[in-house]
Amino acid sequence: MKPVSELLSKRHAANSTLYHVKPDDTVFDALKLLADYEVGALMVMERGQLVGILSERDYTRKIALQNKNSKETRVADIMTRNVLVVSPYTRTRDCMALMSEKKIRHLPVMDGSMVLGMISIRDLMNDLIADHEFTIAQLESYING
């Protein structure tokens, strides 16, 4: 399997935006961004540094189920602070294993203290499917060849 940097480079060719919010933003504003960007999580950035991650899961468990108001609650109050990250050199297989073990769906990719992007389980699955389709095509070509 390939390094995560290859997945990011494919995505950056189409869109290089780092979707993020600030800790002082309201959860409601973060939800609007999740919907606008059609993503399941946003990085929480403060002065250019990753300080957390906010996911749909954080919202459902810490706002909806606790009957809090998303227009009054700040991102900092519900974000996940101890964020697991990977480097651009981490293999996609290792990312899948980490996501499975920790039951998470998103991993920020960092090179030292610099945030390069974020990958999701969907990114990894799409890459895995593409690899399998390529292998199948190669085998069919060999067999028919």
Which residue ranges make up each domain of the chain? 4-144
Q: Give the side-chain half-sphere CA count within 13 A for 46.
A: 10
At 16, which helix (H) or strand (E)? none
Please give the pLDDT value at position 133: 78
Instruction: Check residue 7 and give its pLDDT.
Output: 85
CB 55 within 8 A of CB 41: yes
Residue with tokens 């990085």: 43
What is the reported pLDDT for 8? 85
Question: Which amino acid, 14?
Answer: A
pLDDT of residue 12: 58
* Bridge partners (DSSP) listed for residue 55: 41
- The CA distance from 141 to 96, in Å, is 30
| Angstrom distance (rounded) from CA 141 to CA 108 | 38
Q: What is the pLDDT of residue 18?
A: 83
User: Can you give the pTM of this predicted structure?
Assistant: 0.84
CATH architecture of the domain 4-144 equals: Roll (3.10)
Q: What are the pLDDT tens digits along the chain (145 aa)?
A: 688 998 888 765 455 678 999 999 999 999 999 999 999 999 999 999 999 999 999 999 999 889 899 999 999 999 999 999 999 999 999 999 999 999 999 999 999 999 999 999 988 988 888 777 777 888 888 788 7
Backbone angles phi, psi at 65, to 5 degrees: -75, -20
